[in-house]
Chain A
Amino acid sequence: MRDTPPAMSEPAARIRSANRKTALVLLSIAVVFFVGIIATRFMGEGAAGISVMGTVVLLFLIVAIGRNLRSKR
């Protein structure tokens, strides 16, 4: 049977949580670009595709910046 790992100190836990958040944000950017580039072409018409892609990026920025503003307050 495996021993329970030792409890993590508070600063270490905080750093770990910050690392995970940063990684998730970066991963979501990568996913948006991967899905977006295929989706824009799949929709066929170029202008519509770019509009969708643009809206997604804009929404992403609003949500990301909005969360940040809220946490500052």
Chain B
Amino acid sequence: MSSIAHDHAPGYGHDDHADHSHHPTGITRWLTTTNHKDIGTMYLWFSFTMFLVGGTMAMVIRAELFQPGLQVVNPEFFNSMTTLHGLIMVFGAIMPAAVGFANWQIPMMIGAPDMAFARMNNWSFWLLPPAAILLMTSLFVPGGAAAAGWTLYPPLTIQAGMGMDLTIFAIHILGASSIMGSINIITTILNLRAPGMTLMKMPLFCWTWLITAYLLIAVMPVLAGAVTMLLTDRHFGTSFFNAAGGGDPVLFQHVFWFFGHPEVYIIILPAFGIVSQIIPTFARKPLFGYASMVYATAGIAILSFIVWAHHMFTTGLPTAGLLFYMYATMLIAVPTGVKVFNWLATMWRGSMTFETPMLFSIGFLFLFTLGGFTGLVLAIMPVDVQMQDTYYVVAHFHYVMVAGSLFAFFGGAYYWIPKWSGTMYNETLGKVHFWSSMISFNVTFFPMHFLGLAGMPRRIPDYAQQFADWNMIASIGAFWFGASQLLFLYSMVQCARGVGPKAPAKPWEGADTLEWTVPSPAPYHTFETPPMVK
């Protein structure tokens, strides 16, 4: 990574931040703030709140599936739970968490005073709570919440009640927020880097977010277009997806997955970035193959646009299409393999220590690779035809989303919390959180591979007797995993309250990026005059 000189260059922008070290306090501070650190904090707390809400829904799902038969909820409500759990976790928890990390870290990592559009940044965040309220309110309207799965396939979504309209509106708002956030991130990275901070000197977290933001700008409007067409089909007499009027329901799947597959990488690329910061720090070695990591990230992003129909192998695609999507999907394993190899090579012969952030990163590496392997299995078209919509798919994407993104975000939170709060977290508690999450995650999701291979379909509240044992084990694991996250909440609240040892400016010996050159906690305004990067 780049070396840093502490003399500051004069004549840098953002005059409007120059002299106000005083800022509003109380609720006004949070409502009106344009400070990237405040907004990052709000994103992170919002995402964790939504994680708990989505997690509670997962607990309802697992409680119902604890035994065969219907015990806890009726089938309609169960379907609403699976739908809202997916939507809330993807759009309410994981994506805002990634944006929270971006808000806190990108300006500090590139030596910028703030995000390029500070007011728009505030607006991007404050669009999220209304969208979340709309999603939650949909549970209480006549007909209940959307119950067609997070993929919102017609014809179910054309026939559903008012809850579907609220969901569509929520998705529009979330999409607008994401697009504004992405514009802000790209503009900040391209225009506000410190002198000497060339693109190829940027920390990898900034690179992965730059590419993620481009992906978001390309695909969020497509999702917005798809749900807009759904809305006009429902209320304005069009027939985009309504077969009764000559429309094509399968077309929705094409449009949705043109968004949906890059969305997987939108979720995972920032996690790659976080892990790429943590592993070199605790291996006390520079990241192996920095340039190849950048190119691999770009390669993954480009390939993500041409593989969407692997989600649709059973819809009757032409054979040439099936073969193309199968091979293109397999191709993604190459840049992903480059990344995994480079992380391992970074650790190789490093002076490694195993603090909580490193444990979560290694956990990420192990479990994400497992999720990648099952993805490769599902990419094989004849196999996918057998596994489509079974619990094998549920296991696969939870290994990617939870053990991938979530573990990396936990690692990132433990890694940067000393900088954010000025207080060290409780290491013992962090390690207990890791091991408890690691074991309970596998107890929950590993048996789902067996259930899927045995033919258990997803999104059902009841199942045949032969699936009972593994379902019971998965449910026990899920309750355990849910309870483990309270340890994380406790740790973070303690740090936010300043309970614990004071953090030095650079608590990690091997850390070498710009944010570690400022005191802990990071001052309200940093790099008002940019550092010189050599």
Contact = CB atoms under 8 A, between A and B. Distances in A.
B229 A38 contact: yes
Contacts of B224: 34
A33 B218 contact: yes
Given A23-B183, A30-B179, A34-B224, A11 B13 contact: yes
Contact of A6 (B15, B182, B218): B15
B237 interface: no
A33 B11 contact: no
B385 interface: no
Contact of A37 (B13, B14, B190, B226): B226
Contacts of A69: none
B222 A26 contact: no
A15 B217 contact: no
Contacts of A6: 15
A68 interface: no
Interface residues of B, number: 30
A73 to B, nearest CB: 22
A12 B14 contact: yes
A33 B13 contact: no
A62 B12 CA distance: 33
Interface in A3-41: 5-6, 8-9, 11-12, 14-16, 18-19, 22-23, 26-27, 29-31, 33-38, 41
Interface string B236-261: 00001000000000010001000000
A12 B530 CA distance: 13
Give the dominant DSSP class at B's interface: helix
B146 interface: no
Contact of A26 (B13, B14, B16, B183): B183
Given A6-B15, A34-B225, A15 B192 contact: yes
A42 B229 CA distance: 9
A9 B221 CA distance: 36
A19 B14 contact: no
Contacts of B229: 38, 41
A22 B228 CA distance: 27
Contacts of B182: 26
Interface of A: 5-6, 8-9, 11-12, 14-16, 18-19, 22-23, 26-27, 29-31, 33-38, 41-42
13 contacts: A9-B15, A12-B12, A15-B13, A18-B191, A19-B191, A26-B182, A30-B183, A30-B217, A30-B221, A34-B222, A34-B224, A34-B228, A38-B225
